[in-house]
Amino acid sequence: MRIGISCYPTFGGSGVVATELAMALAAEGDEVHVISYALPSRLSFINANLFYHEVVVPHYPLFEYPPYSLALATQIVEVARHQRLDLIHVHYAVPNAVSAVLAREILEPQPLKVVTTLHGTDITLVGNDPNYLETTRFGIVKSDAVTAVSRALREATQKQLGISNHIEVVPNFIDPARYEEARSLPGAQQWSQAGEKVLVHISNFRPVKRVFDVVEIFHRVRQKMPARLLLIGDGPDRPKVEQHGRECGICDSMTFIGNLPLVEEVLVGADLFLLPSETESFGLAALEALACEVPVIATDVGGLPEVVRDGENGFLLPVGDVDGMAAAAVRLLENDSMRQQFGEAGRRWAVERFDQASVVRQYRRIYHRVLED
């Protein structure tokens, strides 16, 4: 097949999933054309079947807001026409689904199938915003196939956008081999001193991630034992989070690592992963932690209960319950055998349930279905 994949190039989960999928499809022999406004952070793979096309958004004095959606639609048309794409698979509905549907119209009579994968905030925060709702709904309804990364996101889409289309749940995935290789690395232990437990948080430091809760949980843990908090990622809340750490007197025990393409290189060897989000359609970072045998403490919202099994590979608590999350963290950190048991169960669950090969097969079945239609 000749497949176009459009995504955000950033460190966020939708870009990561799209890029990993592109690399896996290309490795299996499909011709894959990645379309984005910058080289995606995880596109590290050299393969004769894999191509990258940049969306350029020219500035013109009249445009206070350069129309990215139109530049993207134009680039999809160009790539589809000249590379003879069979389908375009867009990740994150806004504006990618609308641009792809527009490109399909422009290309007629050349057929181009549109597959849209919903990732989370494209529905729960952005798509739901009255300023984007109608166009988001249009892009989804007009797609030839729609997938969501969790059952929770499928329900939210149907309810919040009033969509009755068939939406197939295709979860995010991990490549077990990559996480196996990472096990030989020193990982999180590089940052810790003897006797310190290491807690990790990964996010884009947006309010929805509640990174202040991460600091509050860590503060409570720190009162019970020597510990270090590694924070991976970057975003708008980072300076305030750093400030909060200073006010709590624990900033010396917090290490800000910044954005990283391969998070498993830090996750291996960590004692605990924290994800106290306000909402989370899936929580790819939590899955990556489980794949590294790191137990997870998260909130019981959205798709997180589909990834983290409460009492088996982590603990799920209500949003904002920092005391509860800190108590659960201390319970795990004080009990080495429980932590090891949770870690092993987490890796087994990640490999059995979210294996890259079987998820890629699921996407491939969808591609064949829309092409046969």
Rounded CA gap, 113 and 198, in Å?
A: 46
Query: Which amino acid would we find at residue 59?
Result: H
CB under 6 A: which stretch of 14-22, 217-225, 319-327, 365-373 binds ligand GMT? 14-22
204, 255, 299, 356: residue in contact with ligand GMT (rule CB under 6 A): 204
Is 157 a binding residue for ligand GMT by CB under 6 A? The answer is no
By beta-carbon proximity to ligand GMT, the closer residue of 206 and 364 is 206
Size of the site for ligand GMT (CB under 6 A): 19
Is 121 a binding residue for ligand GMT by CB under 6 A? The answer is yes
Query: What is the smallest separation between the CB atom of 287 and ligand GMT, expressed in angstroms?
Result: 8
Is 280 a binding residue for ligand GMT by CB under 6 A? The answer is yes
Neighbouring residues of 20: CB distance < 8 A, sequence distance ≥ 6: 42, 173, 175, 356
One-character DSSP codes across 188-201: GGGGPPTT-EEEEE
Neighbouring residues of 62: CB distance < 8 A, sequence distance ≥ 6: none
Kindly compute the dihedral angle of the four CA atoms of residues 313, 315, 316, 318, in this order, to the nearest 10 degrees: -170
Of 91, 108, 116, 18, residue with least CA distance to 366: 116
Rounded CA gap, 243 and 196, in Å?
A: 23
Is 192 a binding residue for ligand GMT by CB under 6 A? The answer is no
By beta-carbon proximity to ligand GMT, the closer residue of 286 and 329 is 286
CB under 6 A: which stretch of 55-63, 70-78, 116-124, 225-233 binds ligand GMT? 116-124
Query: What is the smallest separation between the CB atom of 149 and ligand GMT, expressed in angstroms?
Result: 4
CB under 6 A: which stretch of 12-20, 41-49, 325-333, 357-365 binds ligand GMT? 12-20
CB under 6 A: which stretch of 8-16, 326-334, 343-351, 356-364 binds ligand GMT? 8-16
Query: What is the smallest separation between the CB atom of 366 and ligand GMT, expressed in angstroms?
Result: 16
Is 281 a binding residue for ligand GMT by CB under 6 A? The answer is yes
By beta-carbon proximity to ligand GMT, the closer residue of 144 and 280 is 280
Is 301 a binding residue for ligand GMT by CB under 6 A? The answer is no
Instruction: Find the helix or strand (DSSP H, E) in which 175 lies.
Output: none
Cβ count near 64 (within 10 Å) = 5
Neighbouring residues of 264: CB distance < 8 A, sequence distance ≥ 6: 178, 179, 182, 187, 288, 291, 292
By beta-carbon proximity to ligand GMT, the closer residue of 24 and 250 is 24
DSSP state of 90: E
Instruction: Find the helix or strand (DSSP H, E) in which 92 lies.
Output: none
By beta-carbon proximity to ligand GMT, the closer residue of 33 and 119 is 119
Q: Given the rule CB under 6 A, which residues bind ligand GMT?
A: 12-15, 17, 92, 119-121, 149, 172, 204, 208, 279-284
